[in-house]
Chain A
Amino acid sequence: MKNQTVDPRRAAAAPRSGGEGAAAGASSNEAARFTATSLDQRNARTERGFHTLFLAMSIVLILPVLAILSLLITKGAPAFSWEFFTEPPRAQFTEGGIFPALVGTLWLVIVALLASVPLGVAAAIYLSEYAKDNALTRLINLAIINLAGVPSIVHALFGLGAFVLFFDFGTSILAASLTLAIMTLPVVIVSTRETLQAVPQSFRMACWSLGATRWQTIRKVVLPNSISGILTGVILEVSRTVGETAPVMFTGAVLFTPFLPQGVLDETMAMSLHLYMIATVIPDVPPEVPYGVALSLILMVLILNSASIGFRVYLRGKKKW
């Protein structure tokens, strides 16, 4: 048994070398000490069986997605051109590009970040630095889970009822971005809280013992030591915000505007809604165009996520504690 825990490389090598070699190696090793009974052999077979099953499941889950991705690339890439990214759509969406939708998505993301990052970081600071283990904290955690779990279309109803109508922002970037901000708030809170909690308690104690207040400690010690982790969470939030469709459909994103938005109270086009519309509602769109939009959307999300993951891995290597 010890073999398996001490030498993980051997266990990891098993699936690659077809399972047989490594398992045989392990059992011959053990045979030097014990004689494998039929029970041992049956156990080893069962284990190998499940190992292979779960590995196969992992592959089956990943493979179709890789297939879909490559199909999107082959069908969508022909649509890519300089014009595609820099021109507005023309002739009932059959010509031109997606420039206004790109700009609109950028507006939506930036305004949403301006609202959600300060709030989310404050919430995370509260949970990590101030909150005691009491009913209020449990309630906050439950609220965060719920905020993340409420269907996006319910967020849309809320955005319409609250921001568009009650606060009278109209269908605008402001209303749509605030809806997105509330929807993605849990992403910022959860990732920031994890980063803050990873700062060793001894750092804080050292600072407190110099006579610093709690806020001074947070500002001068805790936040500087976790700023890059917070950034990782923010990138993740951006990737979520970019693709959201339902929350912006009725709050600020429209199918077409002749002008680029000039301020937060303007309506805007957005990538996600654009994809939905040209894929379902608009007739006679050349087939490569929706593939191109889907591909740009997925690339944006994957690049942002990879950046976030890469950043995290890099930070883990750089960590001083």
Chain B
Amino acid sequence: MSAPQSDRLDDRIDAAWIWDRIARAVIFIGGISAIVFVVAIFVFVAKEGLAFIFEKLDLGFFFTSPEWRPAQEPKPEFGGLALIAGTASVTGLAMLIAVPFSLGVAIYIGEFATGKVRETLKILVELLAAIPSVVWGFIGLTILNPLIIDVFDVPVGLTVLNAGIILGLMAAPIMTTIAEDALKAVPDTYREAAEAMGATRWQVIRQVVLPSASKGLVAAILLGVGRGFGETMAVLMASGHSINIPTSPFDSARALTATIAAELGDTAKGSDHYKALFSLGILLFLVTFVINLLADVLVRKGASDRS
């Protein structure tokens, strides 16, 4: 037995020890790979877009003008307001749908449902979350589009409303899962203590579980917002993709993500248009980064509040 500060029990250097060292090194590289990739994503997107932002892009114009005419000759215009408004309106509408539903379903699964009902609901929610975004976009295009035209008697169905509903249905299952995790993180002793004092189940939920899980629930909502903000294919197919600032749910709109997806294929590498799309990418990256960071801080804080 050697000194306790060594993490080996004897001084033998054999094959097993060498393999242990090699494995440790390889596994460590795997461990930090996620960090490497996040940094790499930022570096590669910034490499194409950052210089454009500083040299050519008029930021004041970008945030105040709805004129997105990146291919206009001789003087292209890069106004991002309509795109930002499109993303915001679609995401906002989606959250109006997804937030109450995901919280309600999470509370039902986490606090009310038991046994088979609970398992079945969890599995259904999981399957919902798995439907690919391009299929959701297709549903918006072919099923919701005529439905909206019929029901509301409007000329076009590819609108903020359509994309908002689709995005809400997409985001709700994911938010439900995260919100349910937040409810699960509240220790059962909390519930038992409240029940022992004679609280009904609803009183336990409202006065004990929800306050204790509140930070986690806000994190779930934030991650849902991030999800909606970054969704590409479904929004591209369901929103109508026309550049204007939507004033009602029945207007078409265009999202930041969808703009990149629709235009990147037509641009020449290194052109201003190409770089402008990468600078939209920087904006998307930064916003989702902040949202994820905030959600992580909230979850962490919620856990430390309890301990």
> Which residues of A come within 8 Å of B, CB atoms?
1, 4-5, 8-9, 11-12, 15, 43-44, 46-47, 50-51, 53-55, 57-58, 60-62, 64-65, 68, 71-72, 118-123, 125-127, 129-131, 136, 139-147, 149-158, 160-162, 165-166, 182, 185-186, 189, 211-216, 218-219, 239-240, 242-246, 249-250, 272, 275-276, 279-280, 290-291, 294, 297-298, 301-302, 305-306, 309
Interface CB pairs A-B, < 8 A, 18: A4-B195, A47-B203, A58-B105, A60-B101, A62-B124, A119-B30, A125-B31, A140-B32, A141-B296, A147-B38, A150-B38, A151-B285, A157-B277, A218-B23, A242-B132, A246-B257, A276-B138, A302-B131
In-complex Cβ contact of A123 among B16, B31, B231 (8 A): B31
Question: Measured between alpha carbons, how far is A243 from B281 in the docked complex, in Å?
Answer: 22
Question: Measured between alpha carbons, how far is A161 from B285 in the docked complex, in Å?
Answer: 15
Most buried by A among B19, B37, B104, B227: B37
- Evaluate contact between B101 and A151: CB separation under 8 angstroms: no
Chain B: CB-nearest residue to A280: B237
Question: For the complex, is B20 an interface residue (Cβ under 8 Å from A)?
Answer: yes
Could you say which residues of chain B place their CB within 8 Å of the CB of A244? 132
Question: Measured between alpha carbons, how far is A316 from B187 in the docked complex, in Å?
Answer: 22
- Evaluate contact between B237 and A298: CB separation under 8 angstroms: no
Stretch in contact with the other chain, from B53-61, B73-81, B115-123: B115-123
Question: Measured between alpha carbons, how far is A43 from B30 in the docked complex, in Å?
Answer: 54
9 further contact pairs, Cβ within 8 A, besides A1-B196, A158-B41, A161-B48: A12-B114, A43-B202, A54-B112, A125-B31, A150-B285, A154-B41, A250-B264, A294-B138, A298-B131
Stretch in contact with the other chain, from B62-70, B148-156, B242-250, B286-294: B286-294
Could you say which residues of chain B place their CB within 8 Å of the CB of A61? 101, 105, 125, 128, 169, 172-173, 176
Q: A65-B169, A211-B9 are in contact. Are A57 and B285 (CB under 8 A)?
A: no
Q: A58-B109, A142-B293, A214-B20 are in contact. Are A122 and B29 (CB under 8 A)?
A: yes
Could you say which residues of chain A place their CB within 8 Å of the CB of B112? 11, 51, 54-55
B108 smallest CB distance to A (angstroms): 4
- Evaluate contact between B237 and A279: CB separation under 8 angstroms: yes
Taking CB atoms and an 8 Å cut-off, the chain B residues in 201-239 that contact chain A are 201-203, 205, 223, 226-227, 229-233, 237
- Evaluate contact between B229 and A68: CB separation under 8 angstroms: no
Chain A: CB-nearest residue to B226: A149
Q: Lowest 4 A-B CB distances belong to which pairs? A: A243-B132, A122-B30, A151-B230, A126-B31
Question: For the complex, is B51 an interface residue (Cβ under 8 Å from A)?
Answer: no
Most buried by A among B17, B40, B47, B112: B112
Could you say which residues of chain B place their CB within 8 Å of the CB of A58? 104-105, 108-109, 121
- Evaluate contact between B28 and A126: CB separation under 8 angstroms: yes
Could you say which residues of chain B place their CB within 8 Å of the CB of A1? 195-196, 198-200
A245 smallest CB distance to B (angstroms): 4
- Evaluate contact between B237 and A130: CB separation under 8 angstroms: no
Taking CB atoms and an 8 Å cut-off, the chain B residues in 143-198 that contact chain A are 143, 169, 172-173, 176, 192, 195-196, 198
- Evaluate contact between A149 and B288: CB separation under 8 angstroms: yes
- Evaluate contact between B114 and A54: CB separation under 8 angstroms: no
- Evaluate contact between B19 and A158: CB separation under 8 angstroms: no
Most buried by B among A145, A185, A272, A279: A145
- Evaluate contact between B114 and A149: CB separation under 8 angstroms: no
Question: For the complex, is B268 an interface residue (Cβ under 8 Å from A)?
Answer: no
Could you say which residues of chain A place their CB within 8 Å of the CB of B173? 61
In-complex Cβ contact of B130 among A9, A186, A302 (8 A): A302
Could you say which residues of chain A place their CB within 8 Å of the CB of B116? 12
Give per-residue flags for B1-39: 1 if the beta carbon is below 8 A from chain A beta carbons, else 0: 000000001000000110110111011111111110110
Question: Measured between alpha carbons, how far is A144 from B38 in the docked complex, in Å?
Answer: 8
Chain B: CB-nearest residue to A144: B34
